[in-house]
Amino acid sequence: KNEVEQSPQNLTAQEGEFITINCSYSVGISALHWLQQHPGGGIVSLFMLSSGKKKHGRLIATINIQEKHSSLHITASHPRDSAVYICAARNYGGSQGNLIFGKGTKLSVKP
Amino acid sequence: NAGVTQTPKFRILKIGQSMTLQCTQDMNHNYMYWYRQDPGMGLKLIYYSVGAGITDKGEVPNGYNVSRSTTEDFPLRLELAAPSQTSVYFCASILVPGRNGLFFGSGTQLSVL
């Protein structure tokens, strides 16, 4: 079983829909990253959070440390949001290299 | 700032050939990483560095080598390329792990035939 699990694996939505992508982890963490991988392959960092909630534009990330769960929400989704979304957990007390990545959620937003 | 610059974008190697993937960042980040991404799998850490002159193995280091002679540069060397090294490679850097976001290079798609 992966230490970081994402759901769903694939998600198709209509433009304008509210989208939720989930990330569950089994290790103690010091931080969790949400990344976006564009269809062209490039990866950008969306959020890094260790507690609570962060918002940037139409994107909202939340984390519940007790439940070991994080969610990424997209409001008013748009076709340009189509991408793979990846969560990565920084293992608490692990080495400085220790980020555990989920396999990603492939989102397709149809016009 | 250019961020993280990674070259080449694409490369085809024959079995047994060697090559170096270049990675440079201009953000004065001490922490740098090399990952590989295989279809349907999460990113796997190959090697990382916490500063010039310091490198350490990640989860999948076999068949690779790195060096970190300067803060800016973190090249990844493939010796005796094998088909199992066909993958997409990403270089990344971060200012302070656990406090800041990661910056990624644009990736290198490598095929070993």
**Residue in A96, A100, A101 to test binding to B, most B beta-carbons within 10 Å:** A96
Determine the pLDDT at residue A109: 97
Nearest CA in chain B to A38: B106
**Residue whose C-alpha is closest to residue A35's, from B24, B107, B51:** B107
Determine the pLDDT at residue B49: 94
**Residue in B34, B43, B94 to test binding to A, most A beta-carbons within 10 Å:** B43
Model confidence pLDDT, tens digit, residues A35-73: 999 987 789 999 999 899 999 999 999 999 899 999 999
Q: How far is A108 from chain B (nearest CA, A)?
A: 17
The mean pLDDT of chain A is 91
Residue of B48, B90, B100 with shortest CB distance to A48: B100
Determine the pLDDT at residue A59: 97
Q: Is the pLDDT of residue A3 over 90?
A: no
Cis upstream peptide for A8 (omega within 30°) = yes
- Confidence band (pLDDT; 50, 70, 90) for A95? low
B95 touches chain A (CB under 8 A): no
A7 touches chain B (CB under 8 A): no
- Confidence band (pLDDT; 50, 70, 90) for A96? low
Q: What is the mean pLDDT of residues A12-34?
A: 93
Count Cβ atoms below 10 Å from residue A5 Cβ, excluding itself: 15
Q: How far is B72 from chain A (nearest CA, A)?
A: 18
* C-alpha–C-alpha distance, residues B26 and B9, integer Å: 19
Determine the pLDDT at residue A98: 74
* C-alpha–C-alpha distance, residues A5 and B110, integer Å: 27
Under-70 pLDDT residues of chain B: none
* C-alpha–C-alpha distance, residues B33 and B93, integer Å: 6
* C-alpha–C-alpha distance, residues A44 and A36, integer Å: 5
Determine the pLDDT at residue B46: 95
